[in-house]
């Protein structure tokens, strides 16, 4: 029996947040509904953040209210502070995510706080989630390099990942935010992180800026990771990371894993239909 690898679909949130066209809530809802038919166990739907900073996510509540929920799928939302967490809970999110960084410069640019300040800000969110039994996922951005500060020491990534684990995050997603990673740098980073966080609590989040995302996934597989974030149609990027054009495409990762002999449990025909929908949203022809 083939070993299982999970793809965590992040296109509706991490993918769409960087699109120039303000995408109507109805299109976002239709995309999530299409993705719900693919076979994902987890889908990141939206982000409860200030619309001043991320206007594409201003309709988060409406999107969460409009999706057709399928049993067995966890519909996730980014909630970086208590205000966002309360809104996510009210909207019916099944889990929330907090978004840290291994780079001081990126942390300041992304959330206007130092790494230490960001962790202090996340602590009450995790505590509030734990009080109601809601899972919290942690992200560490700039796990390889930062658009402002250059290469990031693996030990810096490990420190943030360990802090998020100790805080109570059930899983830590390690993000190559600008797609600068290569198998060797990914391997060094994972060796440092795996020394302080169990591998089965880690996920990989790769951007394909340099065309090496699949090779980086292979390196992560070799280190024992079995969860990878990806965005349908390769949507996305980060508003605060110049040069990060998009996440690695879900459909590319799914087929790559299949060739390598792993089982994702995804319906590739249904996935291709969602890819076509995502392409239409990007082109304005949804």
Q: Could you give the residue numbers annotated as active site?
A: 238
- The answer to whether 14 and 44 are in contact (CB under 8 A) is yes
Q: Where are the beta strands (DSSP E) in the chain?
A: 6-9, 42-47, 74-78, 95-101, 136-141, 145-146, 150-151, 171-176, 202-206, 227-230
CB-count burial class (<10 Å; 0-12, 13-18, 19+) for 20? exposed
Distances from the Cα of 109 to the Cα of 14, 17, 126, 258, 267, angstroms:
17, 16, 23, 38, 38
Count of CB atoms situated within 10 Å of the CB of 1: 4
- The token duo for 180 is 């600068």
CA dihedral 19, 62, 205, 228 (to 10 degrees): -130
- Distance CA(194)–CA(253), nearest Å, equals 23
CA atoms within 13 A on the CB side of 41: 10
- Distance CA(129)–CA(178), nearest Å, equals 30
């Amino acid at each position: 029996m083939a070993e299982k690898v999970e793809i965590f679909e992040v296109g509706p949130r991490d993918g769409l947040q960087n699109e120039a066209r303000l995408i109507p809530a109805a299109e976002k809802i239709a995309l999530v509904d299409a993705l719900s038919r693919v076979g994902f166990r987890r889908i990141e739907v939206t982000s409860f953040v200030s619309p001043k900073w991320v206007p594409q996510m201003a309709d988060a509540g409406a999107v969460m209210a409009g999706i057709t929920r399928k049993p067995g799928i966890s519909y996730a939302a980014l909630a970086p502070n208590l205000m966002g967490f309360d809104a996510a809970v009210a909207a019916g999110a099944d889990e929330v995510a907090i978004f840290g960084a291994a780079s001081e410069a990126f942390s300041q640019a992304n959330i206007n706080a130092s790494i230490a300040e960001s962790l202090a800000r996340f602590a009450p969110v995790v505590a509030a989630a734990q009080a109601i039994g809601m899972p919290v996922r942690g992200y560490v951005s700039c796990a390889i390099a930062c658009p402002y500060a250059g290469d990031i020491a693996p030990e810096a990534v490990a420190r943030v990942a360990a802090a998020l684990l100790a805080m109570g995050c059930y899983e830590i997603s390690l993000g190559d935010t600008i797609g600068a990673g290569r198998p060797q740098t990914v391997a060094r980073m994972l060796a440092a992180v795996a020394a302080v966080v169990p591998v089965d609590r880690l996920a990989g989040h790769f951007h394909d800026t340099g065309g090496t995302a699949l090779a980086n996934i292979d390196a992560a597989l070799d280190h024992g990771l079995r969860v990878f974030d990806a965005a349908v149609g390769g949507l996305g990027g980060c508003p605060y990371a110049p040069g990060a054009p998009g996440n690695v495409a879900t459909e590319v990762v799914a087929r790559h894993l299949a060739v390598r002999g792993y089982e994702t449990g995804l319906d590739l025909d249904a996935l291709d239909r969602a890819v076509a929908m995502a392409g239409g949203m990007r082109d304005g022809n949804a």
